[in-house]
Amino acid sequence: MLAFTKKTNSAALAFLGGGAFWFAIGATYGLFSAIDLVAPDFFQNIAVFVFGRVRPTHVNTVIYGFITSMLIGCAMYMVPALLKTRLWSERLGWVSFVLWNASVLSGPIGFPMGYTQGREYAEYLWAFDVTLMLALLALIVNIVMTIAHRRENSLYVSVWYFVGTAIWISAVYPLGNVMWHPSTGAMPGLLDSIYLWFYGHNLVGLLLTPLAVGAAYFVVPRITKTPLFSHTLSLVGFWALVVLYTHIGGHHLLQAPIPNWLKTISVVDSLMMFIPVGAVLANIWLTARGKTSLLWKDPAGRLVLFGTLFYLVTCIQGPVQSLPSVQRLTHFNNWVIGHAHIAVLGFSGFVALGAMWHVLPDVCGKKIWSQRLVSLQFGLVMIGIVGFFVVLTVAGLIQGGSWYNGETVYRSLPLITPYMVMRALLGLFIIASAWVGLVNFIMTLRHGQPHISTPIEEAPS
Ligand code: HEM
Ligand code: HEM
């Protein structure tokens, strides 16, 4: 029964397909949110389209459904390939897939009907926190057992990142979602915001970042056909990430009355983030030195290359906006939304897409149906994300500037209407890129030319 769930790489393929699907759905919900911010009456107050319901649907679907699913799919192929073995259990991989998608699906179904725990990034109801945790635990068992059965002694840095991510996030998620309080998923008062932002920033720092970095470390040496520049540097970046990222969540609460020592640590360590970020980017770019044309020519490599460039932009902006003096201008406005998109979509989303297109032929045994469509996807999403970043940053500075000068909110809002309109229009490019990608994915499975998969034994490590 269900013989397909035993097929090699079938669980990885399911996660990749899930990611491509949720990208299209999640981005579309972004458009609903953007329309609400341009014309609040557009949806005639239909409950399922009000901003407070579509926004969390958008955010959770793109984070857990699109990017994380896609990168888990990549990891499920990359870990066995690097360890010259098979995934320990395809069936357990499918168990992870079903449980994970039960949680993701609870967003678009439950949130529009008002079923939410109402804390940013922690909206899933308790039952779906449980399914997500079970999916993660199954994933950990699968990866650890794959490592235990490996035929390659050395653990390439991508494996470190993937196994690390699964373990870290399964510790951070229950804490941030306050899972021991099933009915509310919350702590009382200010303490709740400390828990929430410990989790919120680790969601991007210990889930999206290490998954994307692990995938980039796999793709870049492979496309450039060059060994990694430095294994030592790769481990410096890995451990510095764990040491520094874990406790910088306080930089989201600099304007709140949390203890000063917590703010100080978060600001100092935000600045120190140049160590892991510098180590990763130097290592990847020095690996690609003199061969960036190979990355540019391959649309998958191009997506990963630009993902690393956006990582640089994100991580220059991040420490700067962690300074309390800067936040007086940038907090509570669209500046942060600009950062969120260049970080989550520009960095981790681009790397996820590039890595997905890179591994897909090996995973499904078919050549990509149309490399032109991958290039088109790249072009569309580039226009969208660069436009988003510029428009939202300018809108944020207008808002921040007027509030700083004592202007009331209702007088500053009309000033940003043109930027909100531009954001909604630019969003159409991102949505188009998602649907183009989904069509290409389906056509690859149905009509792709046969591809001789790189035998696991020959995969580079
Ligand atoms: C699929 C790629 C996308 C990703 C990964 C993404 C990610 C995010 C994230 C992480 C947030 C939360 C930001 C924060 O709280 O600071 C957010 C909010 C938002 N996104 Fe996206 N987004 C994507 C596409 C889009 C598209 C295509 C649109 C519009 C057409 C859009 C419109 C919005 C809006 C309106 C918000 C709420 C902003 C606010 O609260 O002021 N997003 N998105
Ligand atoms: C050097 C690394 C980074 C630093 C120091 C940093 C710093 C910050 C700060 C200070 C904020 C809050 C701004 C405010 O509310 O005024 C923020 C927000 C955010 N960051 Fe970063 N960031 C970094 C990297 C990243 C990365 C790599 C990602 C995603 C992969 C990311 C995703 C986000 C998101 C989604 C938000 C919006 C949170 C919200 O809903 O308010 N950041 N970041």
pLDDT single digits (tens) 125-179: 999 999 999 999 999 999 999 999 999 999 999 999 999 999 999 999 999 999 9
Residues with CB under 6 A from ligand 2: 120, 204, 208-209, 251-252, 270, 273, 277, 314-315, 318-319, 321-322, 327, 330-331, 336, 339-340, 343-344, 347-348
How many other C-beta atoms lie within 10 A of the C-beta of residue 97? 26
Nearest CA to ligand 2 atom 8: 318
Would you call 366 helix, strand, or coil by DSSP? strand
Ligand 2 closest atom vs CA 120: 40
Q: Would you say residue 414 lies in a domain?
A: no
Place of tokens 């520094």: 244
Q: Would you say residue 351 lies in a domain?
A: no
- The mean pLDDT value of the chain amounts to 96
Q: What is the pLDDT of residues 111-125, one digit of tens each?
A: 999 999 999 999 999
Q: Is the CB of 331 under 6 A from ligand 1?
A: no
Distance CA(270)–CA(273), nearest Å, equals: 5
Span from the CA of 58 to the centroid of ligand 1 (angstroms): 7
Report percent pLDDT > 70 for the chain: 98
Tell me the best of 67, 121, 204, 270 to mutate to test the pocket of ligand 2, counting ligand atoms within 8 Å of each CB and taking the most. Answer: 204
Ligand 1 closest atom vs CA 66: 1
> Mean per-residue pLDDT for 277-303?
98
Which pLDDT belongs to residue 2? 82
Q: Is the CB of 99 under 6 A from ligand 1?
A: no
Q: Would you say residue 122 lies in a domain?
A: yes
Would you call 46 helix, strand, or coil by DSSP? coil
Q: Would you say residue 385 lies in a domain?
A: no
Report percent pLDDT > 90 for the chain: 95
Ligand 1 closest atom vs CA 33: 35
* Local confidence band at 246 (pLDDT 50, 70, 90 cut-offs): confident
* Local confidence band at 276 (pLDDT 50, 70, 90 cut-offs): very high
* Local confidence band at 180 (pLDDT 50, 70, 90 cut-offs): very high
Residues 12 and 92 sit within 8 Å (Cβ to Cβ): no
> Mean per-residue pLDDT for 69-80?
98
Domain membership of residue 93 as a residue range: 9-154
Span from the CA of 350 to the centroid of ligand 2 (angstroms): 17
Residues 212 and 348 sit within 8 Å (Cβ to Cβ): yes
pLDDT at 458 over 80: no
Span from the CA of 201 to the centroid of ligand 2 (angstroms): 7
Amino acid at 42: F
Q: Would you say residue 235 lies in a domain?
A: no
> Mean per-residue pLDDT for 271-291?
97
Q: What is the pLDDT of residues 312-363, one digit of tens each?
A: 999 999 999 999 999 999 999 999 999 999 999 999 999 999 999 999 999 9
Please list the residues that pair with 411 across neighbouring strands.
none
Q: Would you say residue 378 lies in a domain?
A: no
Q: Is the CB of 338 under 6 A from ligand 1?
A: no
Nearest CA to ligand 1 atom 28: 30
* Local confidence band at 454 (pLDDT 50, 70, 90 cut-offs): low
Amino acid at 327: Q
* Local confidence band at 3 (pLDDT 50, 70, 90 cut-offs): confident
Number of domains comprising the chain: 1
Answering whether pTM is above 0.85, one says yes
Span from the CA of 255 to the centroid of ligand 1 (angstroms): 23
Q: Would you say residue 60 lies in a domain?
A: yes
Place of tokens 């989904």: 438
Which pLDDT belongs to residue 4? 86
pLDDT at 18 over 70: yes
Q: What is the pLDDT of residues 37-70, one digit of tens each?
A: 999 999 998 999 999 999 999 999 999 999 999 9
Nearest residue to 215 via CA among 158, 272, 273, 280: 158
DSSP letters, 189-251, are: HHHHHHHHHHHHHHHIIIIIHHHHHHHHHHHHHHHHT---S-HHHHHHHHHHHHHHHTT-GGG
Nearest CA to ligand 1 atom 24: 27
Nearest CA to ligand 2 atom 19: 340
Q: Would you say residue 383 lies in a domain?
A: no
Which pLDDT belongs to residue 459? 41
Residues 401 and 12 sit within 8 Å (Cβ to Cβ): no
Which pLDDT belongs to residue 1? 64
pLDDT at 99 over 90: yes
pLDDT at 444 over 70: yes
Which pLDDT belongs to residue 460? 47
Residues 434 and 27 sit within 8 Å (Cβ to Cβ): yes
* Local confidence band at 453 (pLDDT 50, 70, 90 cut-offs): confident
Q: Is the CB of 337 under 6 A from ligand 1?
A: yes
